[in-house]
Structure 1
Amino acid sequence: MLDKKYNLIENEKKWQKFWQENDIYKYDFTSDKKTFSIDTPPPTISGSLHIGHIFSYTQAEIIARFHRMQGENVFYPFGFDDNGLPTERLIEKEENIRANSIPRSEFTEKCMLTTKKYEEDFKNLWMSMGFSVDWSLQYKTIGPMARKISQKAFLDMAKLRKAYIKESPVLWCTTCRTSIAQAELENADKETTFNYIPFMCENSQLIIATTRPELLNSCVCLFINPKDERYLKYLGKRASVPLYNYEIPILSDEKVSMDKGTGIVMCATFGDTTDAEWCEKYKLPYRKTIEENGKILEGIPFVGVLRILAAREKIIQLLKDNNLLIKSETITHSVSIHERCGKPIEIIPSKQWYIDILSEKERYLKAADEINWYPASMKNKYITWVENLKWDWCISRQRYFGVPFPIWYCKKCGKPIFAKDEELPINPIETNPSEPCSCGSTDFIPETAVFDTWATSSLTPLINSKWNTDKDMTEELLPMGMRTQAHEIIRTWTFYTIVRSLFHTGKIPWKDIMLCGFVLAKKGEKISKSKNNAPSSPKELIERHSADALRYWASSAKLGTDTMFSEAELKTSKRFLNKLWNAASFCIMQLEDYDGSNPIKLLPIDKWILEKIKILEKNTIENLNQYEIGLARHDIDEFFWNDFCDNYLEIIKDRLYKPEIHGKEEKLSGQYALYNTLLEILKLYSIYVPHITEEIYQSFYRNFENSISIHKTQWSMKLGNNDENILQFGENIKKIIGEVRRYKSERNLSLKEKINILKISIPKNYEEYIRQTLKDIKACTWAEDIQVKFSDKYDIEIL
């Protein structure tokens, strides 16, 4: 028998320990079972986890449990993305330091110590949620194996010139002081001023409107549209830059909008990506104004060493003082910002490493068709991103804590020297090349940049399969069964992983991709660490409400949709857990004298419940194969609350209590159906609420079943054809019970109030079924007499 009350927290810790000690979720490398492999996003070490992480990671974990209970050998690793800018910013905040204010080695050591602490916290949280991860497969993106794989992958690309270095305009964050990639940009609406400024051309004023007057010193050209008849006469002439008084050419380009501003555009180096494109296209000179730290270059008249906004204000004031500001309008416009810090980006020339992605866009689009997208609509986000790519992927970052480029540069001739494969992983700052340069020099300059964190985390399928090591499993594991992630990083993690997998293996990285929604703090506002808008920490929520309660809540949403969270919603979870415990307690009490024997003959209503759960399993499998865990759980809930608790248990209760009236074989029929139906209900729910289902299984079923854990069992009711007659009969019995209940409720009668006569009209082909079920109906409805009439039309009458 089960305890009267289930102790949520105490039992969850007990079973988590049991699962670990007995390797319940360990991947079997020797098994001949079909492998289902999962590529899980390694959470970024940038602060504490919040309810949004619980939401999406739990949904994926449910899928892992589902496939395990379909008899598959589940490869479910977990990692930590513990290098790069987000981690550096965390350490800078916690230690109250700047990365560049202390020796690089000292800062790296602080990063290693801090990430280790957070990784333990993260791991403990996932374990406290009952995640069925094989922790022996754990990895970290700063670890030796990941560094080796990342460096080897880069060297392979560099040898084929797929990775290359060049000096050119690059997206630059002056706050984080590093180059960034196009995928790291976000757009934000910012309020600023549109300033109308006159450039002189001969004796005419050409008015331009700009939001970046601080870049006047960088102005290298004025552009007009070749179809704009207002300005065609100025083509090929030169204009004078106000305040700085030097001349620039006037050219035409079709990108100029005739309707925006005055129709004349100032091209500065570099105000935006269009400026950079024009400079390359028309071979315009570069005039440096903004430095990497976000200050104006020292020596520039009027604004040298000022920060950008201060320089803008100073220039505007100077324009006013010199009667060079025609007018100024306050506008709101879209600005490109760095997703990590939310600050506007600049474009400055810099020597950086890139991966060529623009030359193979068609290949990446084709790959989208080879992958199953769940939900399918998310595929369009990927396609739109690829079609609109403008820049190759910049993979170098001017930071400290990351995977180093395995490169030196010859001090004499400048040639890049690549590390040898057998030397990896390597830090060029700490080690010299093993051989002289081809020019004979032995003096080298190490590359101090590190890989963009995506350059390593895009390799998670290769890291998981230990690519290019003595334990290489890429042939067995790739493409992986499933990638799970949030839809916001389709442009980064999804795209970059596809790029790298196609290059290094020639295969797509995974067969399926499962894209989860967000948890919202309020309508339209995503919960995030940066906004500090999360409710109680997951740890506190687990301690107050239990892991199973959180897991049940997390499984409620339709895949890919966002959801709101409040602690009050966990009341629904607790109500369900209480109902499951009480229903199981009732069933187990009725099974105390059941020895596992099969009845001579199953009664119709017992056949019906077994047929119903068989259909339920088939539908649940279909939904879960589509990654619709919310729809699947809804169906299970409907069966459990309605068919099983409200109807079946009430119908057979009297038969179980009173074998002297109903018969011993009839009781055995009910016990057999009860035993198997409850067991399957527990199996179905075990992927959602693994702790309470394990407790019930171990308390009773372990005495009869061979599996050490319910999580080692398989769903077993789904095979065979359905008996449509018995299914329809059972639904008719449900209607009879429902009509009687409604009749009593409308008259404010107790459900145990007797009724004199219950007249039932039912099709003739159910004659034998109804005869065998009369005692159950009579006991359940409290009818003194039941009169059955056979007709094509189903009906009941209560007298």
Structure 2
Amino acid sequence: MLTKKYNSNESEEKWQEYWQENEIYKYDFNSDKETFSIDTPPPTVSGSLHIGHIFSYTQAEMIARFQRMQGKNVFYPFGFDDNGLPTERLVEKEKNIRAVNIPRSEFIKECIATTKRYEEEFKNLWLSMGFSVDWSLQFETINPMVQKISQKSFIDMAKSGKAYIKESPVLWCTTCQTSIAQAELETTEKETTFNYIPFLVEGEELIVATTRPELLYGCTCLFINPKDERYTKYIGKTALVPLYNYEIPILSDEKVSLDKGTGIVMCATFGDTTDVEWYEKHKLPYRKVIEANGKINETVPFIGGLKVLIAREKIIELLKENNLLKKSEVITHTVSTHERCGKPIEIIPSKQWYIDILSEKERYLKVADEINWYPASMKNRYIAWVENLKWDWCISRQRYYGVPFPVWYCKKCGKPMFPKDEELPINPMESTPTSACECNHMNFIPETAVFDTWATSSLTPLINSKWNTDEDIHSKLLPMGMRTQAHEIIRTWAFYTIVRSLYHTGNIPWKDLMICGFVLAKKGEKISKSKGNSNFDPKTLIDRHSADALRYWAAGANLGTDTMFSEDELKISKRFLTKLWNAASFCIMQLEDFTGDKPKETLPIDKWITERLKQVESKAIDYLNQYETGLAKHEIDDFFWNDFCDDYLELVKDRLYKPEIHGAKERLSAQYTLYNVLLELLKLYAIYVPYITEEIYQSYFKTFEKSASIHIMEWNKKESTIDNELLCFGENIKAIISEVRKYKSERNLSLKERLNIIKVNIPINQSSYFQKTFKDIKACTWAENIEISPSNCWNIEIL
């Protein structure tokens, strides 16, 4: 017997402990079952988790439960991305310190302590949400095993030339004081001024419009479109740079826009990526203006030592004073910003490590067709990203808390020196090479940069399979069954993982990609840790409403779609949980004397509900195999609320209560059906609401089924064909009930009001079904008499 009311707080804590103690979700390395492996995004340790994480991670967790209940051996690890710039920024903010101002070792200690605290918080939240993770497979991107895999991967790529070091213009965040990759750029609309400045050409003024006058000292060339008849006569001449009075060439390039500004563009080193393209294409000189710290180089006249925005204001004032500002107009234009801090990026020359991605773009495009994308439309985002790649992947970061580059440089010849595999993981700042350089020199300079965090987290399939360690199982595990992730990191995590997997294994990293949507704080703005725009603390929501309520809500959206969240939406979840508990309570009360015996004959309406459940289960499986948790839930909900609760339970209630009228065998038919349909319903809902389904299972069904948990039972997955004639019969019965309810409602009659007679025309082939369901229909509708007439068409008349 179930208690009158379900206590979620008590139940959820109890079953968390039970699942952990009994290792219900542990992966069996010795099992012969088919493995379904999941590559889960290790959440970045950059602040507390929010409702958006609950939304996407829970949708993926439901797939883990689904696959387990399809009889598969589920490999479901969890990790934490606990190194890199996001973690550093969190520590700097929380401790009110700057990494640059304290010893490196002291800052790293602060990072380790902070990440440990947050990881415990993250894990407790996932446990509270009922995640069926095998926590013995947990990893952290900073732990020694992962560092070893990451460093080994880099060394392999460096020795083959796939990873290389060079000094060249690089995307640089002056706020975070590090290089970044193209994938870390975001675009922001900002208001600025278009400044029209005269360059002198043989005493004649050529007006150039620029948003970055502070780069005048870095101007190396003017560009004109060769098709622009207004200015072609100037191509090949030289121009005098205003204020600084040095000459630069005027060249042609088709990339110059004919209708932007004046049609003449100044190329400075470096204002944007186009400047870099022209710099490399036309072999232009480099003139240094902006330093890595975001200030103007001290040698630049007028503005040396100033920050960029202040320098811009000063240059504009100087231009005005010298009558060199022809006009200035306010415009809104797109600025590239760093996704981590939101500040505009600069481009400066720097020596960095890269992974070559541009040379194999065609391969990366081709491999998109080898992976199943869910939703399929998400593949287009990947393709668009690859097609528009302009830079190789810069993987070095001038920061502190990260996986060190395992490399030294010979003081004599400058050649990189790598450690032996057995020496990994290694910190080159704390050790020295064990052998001499090829030039026989023994003095080395250690690399002080660390890997970009994506350089390590892109290896999660290799990390999960413990690649290149004594426990290596990558040949068994790869490609993994499924990767789950948000759509915004297709350009980073999905793409980078494909790059690394193709290089190290020659194969795709996973078969399926499950792309989840966001929870939006407001229209067009996703909830994020960095923006701090969520007022919904997951732990508070769980304590207030239950984990099952949150899970049921999270399952509702179609895959890949963004959604808004309101606490009011959890009312729907709680109404469902109450209905499930009450329906189960009713059924179990009717099963008190049920012994598990199968009836010799099952009545048609009992067969119908079983067939209908088979149909629903089949549809749900199809949807879930496409990772559509919401569409599958909708099918199950429709069956539970309408077919099972509203119709079937009402039809068999009298038969269960009054065996003396309906017959003991007929009652057993209803009991047997109730038992099996409710149990199967609980199994279907178990992937969505694991706590309440476990509570109901353990309270009654375990006595019969013996399984330690409902969550390691399998769905029925009946392969026999569905009886469509029975389904049609059931729909006709539902129609009778619906018509009677409508009739009584329109006349303000109680549902228990007696009716004189119901006349029903039924299909001839369903006549025997109706005869055997006669008593159920009569009791359910409170009809004194029911006249059944075989006919070619169905019809009902109430008198």
What is the alpha-carbon root mean square deviation over aligned residues? 0.7
Tell me how far apart the structure 2 counterparts of residues 772 and 238 of structure 1 sit (CA, whole Å): 100
The C-alpha deviation readout for 1:559-604, integer Å capped at 9, x for no partner, is: 0011110111100000000000000000000000000000010000
Equivalent residue number for residue 610 of structure 2? 610
Equivalent residue number for residue 552 of structure 1? 552
Tell me how far apart the structure 1 counterparts of residues 606 and 128 of structure 2 sit (CA, whole Å): 38
SS at match of 2:705: coil
Tell me how far apart the structure 1 counterparts of residues 173 and 283 of structure 2 sit (CA, whole Å): 25
Tell me how far apart the structure 2 counterparts of residues 58 and 143 of structure 1 sit (CA, whole Å): 26
Equivalent residue number for residue 470 of structure 1? 470
Count of paired positions: 799
> Which range moves more in the overlay, 100-109 or 648-657?
100-109
SS at match of 1:277: helix
- AA aligned opposite 1:24: I
Equivalent residue number for residue 767 of structure 2? 767
**1:299 deviation in Å?**
2.3
**1:437 deviation in Å?**
1.5
> Which range moves more in the overlay, 620-629 or 233-242?
233-242
The C-alpha deviation readout for 1:653-696, integer Å capped at 9, x for no partner, is: 00000000000000000000000000000000000000000000
Equivalent residue number for residue 669 of structure 1? 669
**1:536 deviation in Å?**
2.2
Matched, 1:529 2:529: yes
- AA aligned opposite 1:45: V
Matched, 1:174 2:185: no
Equivalent residue number for residue 431 of structure 2? 431
Equivalent residue number for residue 447 of structure 2? 447
Tell me how far apart the structure 1 counterparts of residues 406 and 759 of structure 2 sit (CA, whole Å): 86
- AA aligned opposite 2:701: Y
Alignment of 1:334-413 (within 5 A): 334-413=334-413
Tell me how far apart the structure 2 counterparts of residues 297 and 78 of structure 1 sit (CA, whole Å): 46
The C-alpha deviation readout for 1:86-112, integer Å capped at 9, x for no partner, is: 000000011111011111111111111
Equivalent residue number for residue 198 of structure 2? 198
**1:439 deviation in Å?**
1.9
Alignment of 1:320-719 (within 5 A): 320-719=320-719
TM-score with structure 2 length normalisation? 1.00
**1:719 deviation in Å?**
2.5
- Residues 680 and 717 in structure 1, CA contact (< 8 A), matched pair in contact too: no
Matched, 1:152 2:169: no
**1:535 deviation in Å?**
2.1
Equivalent residue number for residue 15 of structure 1? 15
- AA aligned opposite 2:695: E
The C-alpha deviation readout for 1:359-394, integer Å capped at 9, x for no partner, is: 000110111000000000000000000001011000
Equivalent residue number for residue 271 of structure 1? 271
Equivalent residue number for residue 3 of structure 1? 3
The C-alpha deviation readout for 1:23-82, integer Å capped at 9, x for no partner, is: 000000000000000000000000000000000000000000000000000000000000
The C-alpha deviation readout for 1:318-365, integer Å capped at 9, x for no partner, is: 000000000000000001111111111100000000000000001101
Tell me how far apart the structure 1 counterparts of residues 323 and 486 of structure 2 sit (CA, whole Å): 53
Equivalent residue number for residue 207 of structure 2? 207
Tell me how far apart the structure 2 counterparts of residues 782 and 81 of structure 1 sit (CA, whole Å): 63
Equivalent residue number for residue 120 of structure 2? 120
SS at match of 2:377: helix
**1:214 deviation in Å?**
0.1
SS at match of 1:630: helix
- Residues 51 and 535 in structure 1, CA contact (< 8 A), matched pair in contact too: no
Matched, 1:304 2:304: yes
TM-score with structure 1 length normalisation? 1.00
- AA aligned opposite 1:760: V
Unaligned regions of 5+ residues in structure 1, if any? none
Tell me how far apart the structure 2 counterparts of residues 666 and 223 of structure 1 sit (CA, whole Å): 91
Tell me how far apart the structure 2 counterparts of residues 41 and 498 of structure 1 sit (CA, whole Å): 14
Tell me how far apart the structure 2 counterparts of residues 508 and 476 of structure 1 sit (CA, whole Å): 14
- AA aligned opposite 2:616: L
SS at match of 1:433: coil
SS at match of 1:164: strand
SS at match of 1:258: coil
Equivalent residue number for residue 317 of structure 1? 317
SS at match of 2:643: helix
SS at match of 1:704: helix
**1:756 deviation in Å?**
0.6
Tell me how far apart the structure 2 counterparts of residues 772 and 284 of structure 1 sit (CA, whole Å): 92
**1:531 deviation in Å?**
1.8
- AA aligned opposite 2:133: V
**1:152 deviation in Å?**
0.3
Equivalent residue number for residue 789 of structure 1? 789
Alignment of 1:718-733 (within 5 A): 718-733=718-733
Tell me how far apart the structure 2 counterparts of residues 764 and 287 of structure 1 sit (CA, whole Å): 93
> Which range moves more in the overlay, 428-437 or 129-138?
428-437
Tell me how far apart the structure 1 counterparts of residues 365 and 231 of structure 2 sit (CA, whole Å): 42
Tell me how far apart the structure 2 counterparts of residues 229 and 683 of structure 1 sit (CA, whole Å): 74
Unaligned regions of 5+ residues in structure 2, if any? none
- AA aligned opposite 1:189: E
Tell me how far apart the structure 1 counterparts of residues 471 and 530 of structure 2 sit (CA, whole Å): 39
- Residues 614 and 719 in structure 1, CA contact (< 8 A), matched pair in contact too: no
- AA aligned opposite 1:119: E
Tell me how far apart the structure 2 counterparts of residues 317 and 262 of structure 1 sit (CA, whole Å): 22
The C-alpha deviation readout for 1:253-311, integer Å capped at 9, x for no partner, is: 11111211111110000011111111111111101010000000112111011000000
- Residues 613 and 717 in structure 1, CA contact (< 8 A), matched pair in contact too: no
- AA aligned opposite 2:681: I
The C-alpha deviation readout for 1:130-164, integer Å capped at 9, x for no partner, is: 00000000000001111000000001100110000
**1:765 deviation in Å?**
1.1
Tell me how far apart the structure 2 counterparts of residues 214 and 426 of structure 1 sit (CA, whole Å): 43
The C-alpha deviation readout for 1:750-797, integer Å capped at 9, x for no partner, is: 000000111111011112111110000010000111111110110111
SS at match of 1:646: helix
The C-alpha deviation readout for 1:151-208, integer Å capped at 9, x for no partner, is: 0000110011000000000000000010000000011100000000001111111110
SS at match of 2:255: coil
The C-alpha deviation readout for 1:515-562, integer Å capped at 9, x for no partner, is: 001101111111111221102210110011100000000000000011
Amino-acid identity (%): 76
Alignment of 1:37-76 (within 5 A): 37-76=37-76
Tell me how far apart the structure 1 counterparts of residues 535 and 517 of structure 2 sit (CA, whole Å): 18
Tell me how far apart the structure 2 counterparts of residues 512 and 372 of structure 1 sit (CA, whole Å): 5
SS at match of 1:774: helix
- AA aligned opposite 2:344: P
**1:248 deviation in Å?**
0.7
- AA aligned opposite 1:633: K
Tell me how far apart the structure 2 counterparts of residues 470 and 438 of structure 1 sit (CA, whole Å): 31
- Residues 410 and 437 in structure 1, CA contact (< 8 A), matched pair in contact too: yes
Tell me how far apart the structure 1 counterparts of residues 581 and 384 of structure 2 sit (CA, whole Å): 49
Tell me how far apart the structure 2 counterparts of residues 218 and 777 of structure 1 sit (CA, whole Å): 89
**1:717 deviation in Å?**
4.8
**1:701 deviation in Å?**
0.0
Tell me how far apart the structure 1 counterparts of residues 355 and 523 of structure 2 sit (CA, whole Å): 38
SS at match of 1:297: coil
